Amino acid sequence: MSHTRSPDARTLPMPDLRGSFPGPFATSPYADAIEEHTAHWLGTFPLAGSPGEAKALCNITAQGVARLLPTADRDGVFLCADLFLWLTAFDDVHGEAEGGRDTARLVRRISHCVHVLAGHDEPGADDDAGIAALRELLHRFRERATPTQYLRLTAHLRDNLFGILWEAHHLDRPDQVTLNDYYAMRPHTVFVRTVMTTAEVVLGHELTEDQRASAAVRELETAIAHLAGWINDLASYAKETDRGGRTPLSLPTLLIRHRECDLEGAFRLASRMCEDQASTARLRLTGLAAAGKNALADHAHAMEAVAASYVWHIGHARYRR
C-alpha cells in the first residue's frame, strides 16, 4: 500500500511581491541603537522568556522598526520599538504559550490591561512587568500624540488584546472559524492597524476624518492589513507545523477546508491573494503620493513603509526552523 507524503511547507510556493514592493527598503540610521535600547528596556521590564528569545525578539523588532520608520527621530523609533516588543512578548508568552491552556487566566490579564488603557486603575503591588511596561508606554505616547491619535492608538491596542484572546480560544478549534471571521480578525493579531497609528504619531501627520474615510485610504489600509497577516501566515507555517501537534490557525488551514484544496493548492491560492493585495496597495500608494505635498501624500509614504516592514520581516530567522 503506497502513501503520499505531505509536501514540506518550506518548499511550497510563496508570493512574489517584487513587482509591488521590490526593495531594498529604506532603513533608519538608528537600527543598531534601537536594538541596544530594546535590550536595555527588556532588562527594566522582563517580558520575554529566555535570554535567547529576548535577543531574537529585540533583533527582529529593531530591524522591523528601522524599516517602518526610516526617517523618524531617535525617540520616536525607540517608542515604537518598545510598544511592539510589548505586544509581541504579550502574545508569545500569554497568548500562544498560555492562552490555549488557561483562557480564563488570559482573560484576567487582558482585563487588567484594558483598565490601564482606559486610565481606570492605579499602580499596585501586584502589578507584573507587563502592566508596568504598558503604563510606561502609554505615558510616553500621551506626551507625543494628539488626543485623537491617542484615542485611536488605545482603541487599536484593545483590538489587539481581543484578537489575542480570540486566537487563543480558537487555537484548538480552527474548524469553527470562517474565512470572513479570519479576514476580519487577522489584522488585529498581527498588530498592523496599531503599527499604522504609531507611524502617524511618530511622523507627525494626521488625516482629517473625511480623508481617513475616503475610498483611497480605506482600500490602501485594508490591502496592507490583509497582506501583513497573510504573508506572515505563509512564512510561519513551516515552523508552526514542525512543532507537531495541532494544525495552525492560519490562512492555508482555512483555505484547505473552505476551498477544498490540498496544502500546495492552498499556498498557491494564498500567494495569489497576497499578490493581489500588494498590487491594490501599490495602486493606491501611487495615486495618493501623486497628490502633491500634503497629509495624504505623507500618509501614503508612511503606509508604504508599513508594508515594507512586514514584507521584510517574514524573511527573519524568527520564521525559520
Per residue in 158-217, pLDDT tens? 999 999 999 999 988 888 999 999 999 999 999 999 999 999 999 999 999 999 999 999
At residue 174, the pLDDT reads 87
C-alpha distances in Å from residue 174, one per residue of 149, 170, 182, 187: 34, 6, 10, 17
Q: What is the SS3 assignment for 84? A: helix
Average pLDDT over residues 3-31: 82
Average pLDDT over residues 213-238: 96
- pTM given for the model: 0.92
Cα 215 from Cα 284, distance rounded (Å) = 10
Query: 28: pLDDT confidence band, cut at 50, 70 and 90?
Result: very high
More confident position, 172 or 41: 41
C-alpha distances in Å from residue 37, one per residue of 157, 178, 230: 22, 41, 30
At residue 241, the pLDDT reads 81
At residue 4, the pLDDT reads 37
pLDDT tens-digit map of 113-167: 999 999 887 777 567 899 999 999 999 999 999 999 999 999 999 999 999 999 9
Q: For residue 236, what is its C-alpha cell?
A: 510561519
Q: What is the SS3 assignment for 121? A: coil
Cα 181 from Cα 237, distance rounded (Å) = 19
Q: What is the SS3 assignment for 97? A: coil
DSSP string, 270-295: HHHHHHHHHHHHHHHHHHHHTT-SSH
The average confidence (pLDDT) of the chain is: 91
Query: 5: pLDDT confidence band, cut at 50, 70 and 90?
Result: very low
At residue 3, the pLDDT reads 37
DSSP string, 196-255: HHHHHHHHT----HHHHHSHHHHHHHHHHHHHHHHHHHHHHHHHHHHT-SSPP-SHHHHH
Percent of the chain with pLDDT over 90: 75
At residue 269, the pLDDT reads 97
Contact 9, 263 (CB under 8 A): yes
Upper half-sphere CA count for residue 23 (Cβ side, 13 Å): 15
Amino acid residing at 7:
P
Cα 297 from Cα 249, distance rounded (Å) = 36
At residue 2, the pLDDT reads 34
pLDDT tens-digit map of 254-292: 999 999 999 999 999 999 999 999 999 999 999 998 877
Q: Which of the residue ranges 4-8, 105-109, 171-175 would you say has the lowest mean pLDDT? A: 4-8
Query: 314: pLDDT confidence band, cut at 50, 70 and 90?
Result: confident
Say yes or no to pLDDT of 8 above 80: no
